[in-house]
Structure 1
Amino acid sequence: MSKAKISAIGTYVPSKRLTNKDLEKIVDTSDEWIVQRTGMKERRIAGDHEFTSDLCIEAVKDLQRRYEGTLEDVDMILVATTTSDYAFPSTACRVQEYFGWEQTGALDINATCAGLTYGLHMANGLVTSGLHKKVIVIAGETLSKVTDYTDRTTCVLFGDAAGALLVEYDEQSPGFLASVQGTNGNGADVLYRTGLRSDLNGQKLEETGKMVQNGREVYKWAARTVPAEFHQLIHKADLRPEDLDWFVPHSANMRMIESICEKTLFPAEKTLTSVEYFGNTSSVSIILALDLAVKAGKLKKDHTLVLFGFGGGLTYTGLLIRWGF
């Protein structure tokens, strides 16, 4: 039984916009082609001297402004990112440095687009176990810095953003109801970013650090996996799809989300997304979708929703939660 809930939210997106028209000038594509295949119209891009930790700090500042309590007693910082400023120190340590919370742990999580849901799952475990009382889960990405803008199939997808959720102790009204996780490491070569090694087949690449994606294979895996695990998740809590207020999948691509909803038999009008004006922001996309709904007055206290992150690994985590504020 969970003893934790989500109690606050904050987000930040850079001011620079990269529209489909802008992309037409960079690569052989068109606004019509991008919208038809992805549903995306624009995405936000970090400045040359703006990095993931900067975005994360601004997201926490936004949370701090909107939260009625204090963050001085935060005792763990978890940052989900694949684009940390440095190999080390962690982005979480950079956030700690800025806010000066000395009695706190700090840890980065790399689960790609599933990073946010993995982070929330870990935070729930840390608080419910009694090891921690207040955990801030941050997702931040500057994907524009690792996007290959000569690859027309991937460069149209990705944007930069950050978001933060506060998970704190609440035994009377816990917010975490059920979870599912799974991994298919055999699919690692369909979505990856090069690092110390070259590509997963051992071939030498001219430039390391860029993302490589086989979009068709990722699409097929997500469209097959997410609907099945969605039903497994709500079955764990003895609920039916009609008992949910909202479904919040990772906003990878609007066409993928439409396919998932069709196979899940869950109405698209009760599905929250952020893909249209922010693109695919990896681990951040779910927080952006949640905050858009909060600001629109759609997401309210005690609403029941499924958060489902999925991505490179290939790995996923789904959470059934009750919204806490």
Structure 2
Amino acid sequence: MKARILGTGSYLPERCLTNDDLAQWLDTSDAWIRERTGIGRRYVSEAGTAEMAVRAAKAALENGGISAEEVDLILVGTMTPDYFCPSVSCQVQCALGADRAACLDISAACSGFLFALSTAQAYISSGMAETVLVIGAETMSRVVDWEDRGTCVLFGDGAGAAALQAGETGILAVDMGCRGSKGMALSCPAVPLQNPTERARYEENSFIRMDGQEIFKFAVRTVPDTVRRVLQAAGIPAEEISHFVFHQANRRILLSVAKNLGIPMEKVPMNIERTGNMSAASVPVLLDELNRKGELVRGEKLVLSGFGAGLSWGSLVLEW
């Protein structure tokens, strides 16, 4: 059996920050940000990761005609949980009343939703689960330095979800990987080591630190490779793919990837101008937008691909 997406959902916070808003306290401008990233605005949460995840999950279940009681497994891709414990997935289970579901958070940053979808496929194909709720949710606004124009202009908050069930068609092939040797190119410190025998010296903040050039080079080289591998594994030529739903990291990255793969930009949907980089939430939010607009047709083939901190990547081919 394969994992088939039956419904999607998403949630974006009400509060929006435009580039002009950021320019009120940063040495930047709308033109400077747009030229380098393609971003015009982003949303910032007033609630947190779990609440956004719950809202997206409810929308996905409703869209797929699935009840919370049917869910066997809840997977949440996030690097910005509200608590170390309980997990976001356990908070979602409680809010939904999905009492029979096992719960698991997956920390793979911008690849988190793809890693979670791959996990759902493994559970469903093995017979360990029949119905899986997969969520990507991030409150990136809590981990960026709002005085650092190199990072805070990039990120936004949001959540997206997909409800999957076992079927004859669905996810056809998966490609995943990590390059831990380059992992510190994008990092975010955790709680400092403090115990009776050790006291590590950490910097005062726990904000994201990024080597932008290293990340750009990684993305434009790695994403075309992972897409080619997953298409080959599925036995499907790129020409048969209707939409390439990429992680919305940077418009320049997406243009470079499309050029490398030789695919027309009309097959590469973008919402980065409106949302910024939402890490694990970017792919499911964009997928839900396409679904709600009626741009996804049952039976057509899609490629989904996420990439980012770790350094990590995950791609899959699915039949909608």
SS state of the match for residue 72, structure 1? helix
State the Cα deviation string for residues 103-146 of structure 1 (Å, max 9, x = none): 11011000000000000000011011001110100111000011
CA distance in 2: counterparts of 1:296 and 1:7, whole angstroms:
15
* Correspondence for 1:167 among 164, 169, 172: 164
Instruction: Give 1:17 shift.
Output: 0.5
CA 90–268 in structure 1, closer or farther in 2 if over 3 Å, else same? same
For residues 280-302 of structure 1, give each alpha carbon's deviation from its aligned partner in whole angstroms, at most 9, with x where no partner exists: 00001111111221222222211
**Equivalent position amino acid for 1:178 in 2:** A
Structure 1 window deviating more from structure 2 (113-122 vs 256-265): it is 256-265
Aligned to 2:259: 262
**Alpha-carbon distance between aligned partners in 1 of 2:201 and 2:33, rounded to the nearest angstrom:** 30
Question: Are 2:296 and 1:296 aligned?
Answer: no
Whether the 8 Å contact between 2:50 and 2:88 is mirrored in structure 1 is: yes
- 1:232 and 1:64 mapped to 2: Cα distance? 31
Structure 1 match to 2:21: 22
Q: Which residue of 2 aligns with 1:183?
A: 178
**Separation in structure 2 between the aligned mates of residue 179 and residue 64 of structure 1, nearest angstrom:** 24
Distance 2:96 2:179 in 1: 37
Q: What count of residue pairs does the alignment treat as equivalent? A: 314
Distance in 2, matches of 1:63 and 1:248, equals: 18
- 3-state SS of 1:285 partner: helix
Q: Deviations along 1:205-238, whole A, 9 cap, x unmatched? A: 121x211111110000110111122111111122
1:44 matched to 2:39: no
Q: Which amino acid aligns with 2:14?
A: S
1:100-115 mapped onto 2 (5 Å cutoff): 100-115=97-112
Q: 2: distance between equivalents of 1:167 and 1:225?
A: 28
Contact 1:273 1:285 (8 Å CA) reproduced: no
Shift of 1:183: 1.0
Please list, as runs of the form range in 1=range in 2, the aligned pairs for 1:314-325 lying within 5 A after superposition: 314-323=311-320
Q: Is the 8 A contact 2:124 2:165 kept in 1?
A: yes
Identify the residue that residue 278 of structure 1 maps to in structure 2.
Answer: 275
Counterpart position of 1:156 = 153
> What SS does the aligned partner of 2:68 have?
coil
2:137 matches 1:129: no
Letter in 1 for 2:89: A
1:261 deviates by 0.8
Residue identity opposite 1:118 in structure 2: F
Aligned residue runs from structure 1 range 196-207, under 5 A: 196-197=191-192, 204-207=202-205
Query: Residue 173 of structure 2 aligns to which amino acid in structure 1?
Result: A
Contact 1:273 1:286 in 2 (8 A): no
Separation in structure 2 between the aligned mates of residue 212 and residue 73 of structure 1, nearest angstrom? 41
In 1, the alpha carbon distance for the partners of 2:263 and 2:106 equals 30
Query: Does the aligned pair in 2 maintain the 1:13–1:55 contact within 8 Å?
Result: yes
Shift of 1:197: 4.5
Please say if 1:237 is aligned against 2:234: yes
2:94 aligns with one of 94, 97, 113? 97
More displaced stretch, 237-246 vs 74-83: 237-246
* Structure 2: gaps of 5 or more residues: 194-199
CA–CA distance in structure 2, aligned partners of residues 80 and 88 of structure 1: 15
1:195 matches 2:194: no
The code of the aligned residue for 1:239 comes to I
Which residue in 1 is equivalent to 2:197?
none
Are the structure 2 counterparts of residues 159 and 126 from structure 1 closer, same or farther at C-alpha, using a change threshold of 3 Å? same
Are 2:215 and 1:218 equivalent residues in the alignment? yes
Aligned to 2:246: 249
Secondary structure at the counterpart of residue 85 of structure 1: coil
Displacement after TM superposition at 1:54 (Å): 0.6
Matched AA of 2:26: V
**Matched residue, 1:55:** 52
Give the alignment's TM-score, normalised by structure 1. 0.94
Q: Is the contact between residue 188 and residue 209 of structure 2 (CA under 8 Å) also seen in structure 1?
A: yes
Q: Does 1:82 align with 2:95?
A: no
Q: Which amino acid aligns with 1:182?
A: G
- 4+ residue runs over 6 A deviation: none
Instruction: State the TM-score, normalizing by the size of structure 2.
Output: 0.95
Q: Distance in 2 between matches of 1:228 and 1:64?
A: 33
In structure 2, do the counterparts of structure 1 residues 195 and 32 end up closer, same or farther at CA, with 3 Å as the change threshold?
same
Identify which range, 16-25 or 232-241, moves more after superposition. 232-241
